[in-house]
Amino acid sequence: MALIITDECICCDACVAECPNEAISICEQMYYIHIDPEKCTECMGLYDEPQCADVCPVDCCLPNPDYQETQSELLMKAERLKVSRVA
């Protein structure tokens, strides 16, 4: 599933540099995972856990209940993103 960044975000910038898919943006002084959840793979295939959640000092990077995906679906999405970055 894609992650979401909750309203508790303090805009510290810690998560932005850690996202391997560039899925985090800022809007109106608030960070968010792209509206297109296809960019968030929970870092599957690259790291053992989502890097944004790992570095967040206020624990506001949480699973998005609207986008439930299995581990294999996340890995396939990560592969598609990797291929599109190379192309």
Domains and CATH numbers, the chain: 3-86 (3.30.70.20)
Burial grade of 35 (CB within 10 A; 0-12, 13-18, 19 or more): exposed
pTM score of the predicted model: 0.81
Q: Is the pLDDT of residue 20 over 80?
A: yes
Q: What is the mean pLDDT of the chain?
A: 86
pLDDT digits (tens, 9 = 90+) for 37-72: 778 999 998 999 999 999 999 999 999 888 888 999
Q: Taking residues 3-30, report their average pLDDT.
A: 86
Q: State percent of the chain over pLDDT 70.
A: 86
Q: Indicate the helix (H) or strand (E) that contains 72.
A: helix 71-86
